[in-house]
Amino acid sequence: MIVTKKDMEIFGHKDDWGVDCLYRNAAQKLLDAKLKEVGQDKKDFISLADTIREHNRVEQVAMGVSGQFFSEDHLQTLADFCKSQNPSFDREKWLGYINGDNGPNGGKR
């Protein structure tokens, strides 16, 4: 993420690019704000689902029924978090992908 001089003016710091405390604090606030704007996207959600699927698969092979799987409650909590990060997040498709009901884009397998 590149912080420009124009960005710094938003925070009221219009002088040279000194490395004083005001500049560092303003730069950090700007970076935090820009990262919040970006949020998580579809590839991040698919990657998370792939990791969960692989974990559950390995646990089933290694431990059988008594393995440490992601529970329905765990998955619902993660889905709530994903929705809070991106309003376009489709929890039903995501949960369906983890459960093997559909592909990563929501299509039937």
**Do both 78 and 52 map to the same domain?**
yes
Place of tokens 């991040």: 44
**Do both 90 and 47 map to the same domain?**
yes
Task: For residues 82 and 86, give the distance between their C-alpha atoms in angstroms, rounded to a whole number.
Answer: 6
pTM: 0.59
List the domain range (segments joined by +) for residue 13.
Answer: 5-38
> Number of folded domains in the chain?
2
pLDDT tens track for 44-79: 899 999 999 998 888 777 776 666 788 899 999 999
**Do both 27 and 51 map to the same domain?**
no
**Do both 59 and 91 map to the same domain?**
yes
**Do both 48 and 93 map to the same domain?**
yes
For residues 103 and 109, the answer to whether their CB atoms sit within 8 Å is yes
Q: What is the pLDDT of residue 14?
A: 47
With H, G, I as helix, E, B as strand and everything else as coil, classify residue 102.
strand
pLDDT of 20 > 50? The answer is no
Q: What is the pLDDT of residue 61?
A: 78
